[in-house]
Amino acid sequence: MEIEIVDYKGANVVVLSGDIDMYSSPILRKQLMLLIDKKVPLLLIDFKAVSYIDSSGIATFVEGLKGMMSYGGRLKLLGIPEGIMEIFNFSKLDRVFEIYGNIDDAFNN
Amino acid sequence: MKDSAVIIIPSHPRYLSVVRAVTVRMGELCGMADAELEDVKLAVDEACSNVIKYAYGGNTDKRIVVRFKITQKGFEVVIEDSGLKADIDSLKGRSLSDVRPGGLGIHLIRRAFDVVDFDDKKKRGNRLRLIRYMKEKNGD
């Protein structure tokens, strides 16, 4: 997995690629928590290049969401590939996360 | 020769990608469709992750044996470790409506496999048996 953090109109975008599994999710968690500890108001997670996610990856985002909600921040997921979206649907987390097709929709809503 | 394969990996999360790759290849040989392959890959990964987390308590220098077998009935995966005995209650998982980190893995395993059970006969460690029955295809 690779993690790149870029700026989009003043918001932090975490651009992910590759596999998010038990090996890589602790690295992702550390990066997310660094941003959440700073109480960033908006965090966008770009999933377009993510090829795989397991339950440890999902748990990382649930933890991140709860962390951001604690201070009124918003965590938005975007560009989730179909196979990965199916796991969010199965786990009913599509009802919990804010999920958008692209970065403009995620930023503007 | 039977249609089977065995891999032995260290109990380190970096080897999960190896398990996934072999699972997919064996699933392809079994004739699974792409969506089935994704489900089975995720389930076997989750089962091995559970071994690392719970049976070995995060110890990364133990070993995990994963056996794959293709039979007329379907696809069988047996995962063995020599760690702490699994808590049978762990096979239940949390309610999917209870949104919190963790507890999702067993649901993903059960979604992919028709049989999910621990072999009681194994004295030390765990032997988890997973079977996915092949679905009848129209026209076959």
Domains and CATH numbers, chain A: 2-108 (3.30.750.24)
Q: Give the pLDDT confidence of B86-100 residue by residue, as tens digits.
A: 876 666 666 666 666
* Confidence class for position A94, pLDDT limits 50, 70, 90: very high
Please determine, for residue B15, whether its predicted confidence score (pLDDT) is greater than 50.
yes
Q: What is the DSSP letter of B98?
A: S
pLDDT of residue B139: 43
- Write out the two tokens for A49: 């290049």
| CA B39 and chain centroid, separation | 11
Sheet holding A98-100, edge to edge: A2-8, A11-20, A42-53, A74-78, A98-100
**Considering the domain B4-133 in this protein, what is its CATH number?**
3.30.565.10
**Minimum-distance CB partner of B102 among A59, A66, A90:** A59
Q: Give the pLDDT confidence of A22-69 residue by residue, as tens digits.
A: 999 999 999 999 999 999 999 999 999 999 999 999 999 999 999 999
CB pairs under 8 A between A and B: 61
Q: What percent of chain A has pLDDT over 70?
A: 100
Reference B53, options A88, A23, A51, A2; nearest CA is A23
HSE (side-chain half, CA atoms, 13 Å) at A99? 18
Please determine, for residue B74, whether its predicted confidence score (pLDDT) is greater than 50.
yes
Q: Hey, where are the domains in chain B?
A: 4-133
B chain contacts of residue A22, beta-carbon cutoff 8 Å: 13, 16, 45, 49, 52-53
Burial of B45 (0-12, 13-18, 19+ CB in 10 A): buried
